[in-house]
Amino acid sequence: MNQSVFYTFLQSSLLLFSLLLTPLCAALQITPKPLSASVGNDHFNLTHDSKITFNQQQAQSVAQQLATFLRSPTGYQLPVSQADSTTKNSIAFKIVDIPLSQEGYALSVTPEGVEIQANTATGLFWGMQSLRQLLPAEIESRMPINQANWAIPAVEIKDQPRFSYRGMHLDVSRHFFDVAFVKRYIDWLAMHKFNVFQWHLTDDQGWRIAIDAYPKLTEIGATRPHTVVGHTYDYQPLFDNKTVSGFYTKAQIKDVVEYAQARHIEVIPEIDIPGHSSAMLAAYPELSCHQLAVKVQPQFGIFEDVLCPREDVFAFLGVVYKEVAELFPSQYIHIGGDEVIKKQWLESPEVKKLMQQHQLTTPEQVQSYFIKRVAKIVQNLGKTVIGWDEILEGGVADDAVIMSWRGTEGGIQAAKMGHQVIMSPYQYIYFDAYQSRNLDEPKAIHGLSSLKNVYQYEPQPSHLSAEQQAFIIGAQGALWTEYIKTPRHAEYMLFPRLSALAETLWSNKTQKSWSDYSQYRLPALLKRYQQMHLNTAYSSHKPIISSEINGQQLVATIISEIAGTAIYYTLDGSEPTLQSQQYQKPLVITDETQLRARSYVSDLGQLVGDARLTLSPHLALGKEITLASLAAEGSATKLQDGQFAYDQFYSVDDYAIFYDTDLEAVIDLDASTQVQQVKLGFDSGRHRQLHPPTHIQVLGSSDKQQWQTLAEVNNPRGPMSVLSFAPVSVRFLKVVAINSKQSDDIQIPKLPLYIDEIAVY
C-alpha cells in the first residue's frame, strides 16, 4: 500500500471513529476542525507551577515556543526540560511513532496534564496551535492578564491535514510591507496551520529583492514616483504624489526564511517572468526586444513590455535565479508566467528568426519556449518550477507544478496531464476581492468573495477520477495589494477569511459544515482576533439586499450569511439604528426607494454594515426588451430589474456591457402608456469610474415604425442621467446610448459601455 493510499484509509477510519464520539468536536471551537475529538467533563488548570517537557531534542523548540507564547499573557516563567515520561501538572511534547501522517498529532488533556504526540516536530507544532485554541481567548493578549487560572477542557484529539500543500500568498510589489509585518503574516499562517508562504517579490510596480550581480534592480526597479488614485481602469485615472519604495536585503530575507522555518512554514519566492517585468526592464531595458527605456509602472494591470527570448536574457535570469535559490531552501521557485502580452514578440525580427529556427508557429509556442528555458535553469539549481496556469499554453515543462488562478479549468487540465496542481481560483480565494457589497467596505480590486464563498470552496473537482484528484496537492489563497496600502487594511482582508480557507485545506471535507463553523467556531475565533487587536472584518454578519419581480410587484429581501443575525432597515435612505424597523419578512416596494440596512452583532454590542440598494418599480419593469446589438455581455434583464447600481461598489454582474458598440434598446410596454421620464444608469458611483456614453437619446413610437425623439443629452455625467419630457402616450420606447469607443490604453483596447438600468416613468 503506497503512502497516499494508506493516509486515505487511515483518515477514513479515523473519521468513522470520530462519528461515534460525543459530544461533537464543534464544542471544542477549534479551527480548522480536527479529524476526531471527544470532550470530557473536566479540565486541566495551567498554573504558575506547571511545567513544559519534551522527550527528544527535535521537540525542544516547540516546547520553548509554547513557553514563550504563554509568558506574556500569564506572566508565568514556566520551566522547559527534557523528560521521557509525562509528569503531573505538565504539558508534554513527545515525538513517538503514531499511526498518523507526518503532520498529524494526538492531543490529550486530562485533569493531571496535557500530552501532545506526533511523528515529527511539525506535528507537535500543529498540535500546539490546537492547544492554543483550547485556552481562553485572553491567552492571545501580549499583555499580562490578571486571571486566577487558565482552564483547558479535557479532550482527546487525533488530527492530521487533508492536503500536503496549504498555502497563502502575499504581494509586496504593488505596496511594500516591512519585515515586521511579514513576520506577523507568517505567525497568522502558523496559527491557522498553513505550511506554505508564497512571497510575490517582483512585478511591474516594484522589484523587492536584492540581487548582488544586478544592483540596478533595486536602485531603479524598487521605486515608483506615484500611484494611481481610485481604480486603475477608471475613465479618468488620477495619481498621488507619493513615492513607493522598498526592498529586502539578503540578510532580511534569510531572517524571514529562518523565522518561517521555526514555524514549520516553507517560503516560496516568486520572480515573475516574462511578463509583469516593467520594474526589471526599467533597470535593464536591454532585456526587452525593443531595448528602449521602460518605467516602473504607477498603474496596475497588464503591460506590453516583456522580456525577450534571447540568450543574453536567459543568462541574466540564470544569475538572478541562482541568487534566489541560494536564499530560499524551498524545493520550489515560482516563475509567474501569467498575462503575457505578445505584441512586442510578434514585432521583433529576433523573435521571428527564433520561431523559424525552432519551428514555432504561434506566440503561445514562443511563450512555451521561454518558460521551458527558464524551467531548465531552475531545474539545474535543484528546484522545481511553479507557474500560473498560462504556462500550459503552447506546452509546458514536464515537472512543472501548475497554480490555477483563472478558475479551476487550468488545474483540471493539468491534473489530467499528470502535473501536480495547486488550486488558487480568483473567484473563491483571492482575498483582495470585496467581502460584502456594503458601502463601509474598504476599496478592493473587484469581485466578491464572501466568507461563506471561501468556506464552501472545494479544491478537488468531483468529476475528476480519484487518480486525477490525487494530483491536486492543495490550494493557495492570495492577497494582491494593488489597493491594500497598510497592514490594517491587509488584516481586514485576511480575517476571518483566512480561517475559512484553513478549514478547507486541513479538515476532512465530509466533516465541514457552514452552520457548525459560522455558529460555533467563528464566534470563538472572532473573540480571539479581538484579543490579538486585529482589524477583523464582520462582513459575513452584514446585510445582503436583493430583489425580484413577482408579477407586477418588486419585492426586496434582506438576509445575512450568519443565521439569526438581527437586521434593521429604513426605506427613506436614512441610516438605520436600533430604533428602526427590524427586518422580519420580504418588503413590497411601491415607489422609488433607497433601502438601507445594518446588522446587530451581539458580541460587539453594535450595528455593522451599510447595505444600500435603490429600487424602483417603474413602468418598464420586466417588460420585453430587444437589443439591436448582440455584442452585449450580461443579461438584458439587468436593464429592467428595478435595481440601480450607483449606490453600490462596482460589480460586473450589475450591468449589460457593450464592448466597442452602442446601446440601442427597444422596450415594449404592452399597451399605449403615458410616459414622461427615463432614467439611465451607467456608472457604479462607488470605487470605480466607468466610461460614460457620449450621447443619449430617447424615442417613442406606437407602431415601431415611426419614431419621435422625446429627449436627448450630449456628454452626460454619471452615475445616472434623468431625461424628462412632456407627457406622451406610446407603446414602444427606444433608448440609444453612444459608446465613445476610442481608447489609447492597451489594457482597454475596446471601451466598454456599462448600462445597469433603463427606468421608465
Q: Which residues are catalytic?
A: 339
Q: Give DSSP secondary structure letters for 394-423.
A: T---TTPEEEE-S-SHHHHHHHHHT--EEE
Using CA atoms, how far residue 290 sits from 250, 287, 293, 302, 361, in Å, is 32, 9, 9, 18, 21
SS3 551: coil
Contacts of 137 (CB under 8 A, 6+ apart): 524, 527, 528, 530, 531
SS3 363: helix
Angle CA(431)–CA(256)–CA(58) in degrees, nearest 5? 110
Spatial distance between the Cα atoms of 520 and 522, rounded to a whole number of angstroms: 6
| Burial (0-12, 13-18, 19+ Cβ within 10 Å), 733 | buried
Spatial distance between the Cα atoms of 491 and 535, rounded to a whole number of angstroms: 6
From the list 317, 425, 335, 417, the residue with the least C-alpha distance to 384 is: 335
Spatial distance between the Cα atoms of 124 and 140, rounded to a whole number of angstroms: 19
Contacts of 551 (CB under 8 A, 6+ apart): none
Contacts of 38 (CB under 8 A, 6+ apart): 21, 22, 23, 25, 155, 156
As a dihedral over the C-alpha atoms of residue 194, residue 277, residue 241, residue 484, rounded to 10 degrees, the angle is -20
Q: Supply φ then ψ for residue 93, to 5 degrees.
A: -105, 125
Spatial distance between the Cα atoms of 682 and 644, rounded to a whole number of angstroms: 9
245 pairs with which residues across the strands?
223
Contact 37, 100 (CB under 8 A): no
Do the bridges between strand 421-423 and strand 266-273 make them parallel or antiparallel, or are there none, so unpaired?
A: unpaired
Contact 437, 651 (CB under 8 A): yes
Angle CA(125)–CA(130)–CA(133) in degrees, nearest 5? 130
Angle CA(166)–CA(169)–CA(175) in degrees, nearest 5? 165
Spatial distance between the Cα atoms of 639 and 760, rounded to a whole number of angstroms: 11
Angle CA(601)–CA(605)–CA(608) in degrees, nearest 5? 45
Contacts of 569 (CB under 8 A, 6+ apart): 543, 558, 576, 580, 581, 582, 583, 587, 595, 596, 597, 598
Residue type, 338: D
Alpha helices in 348-392 (DSSP H): 349-357, 363-380
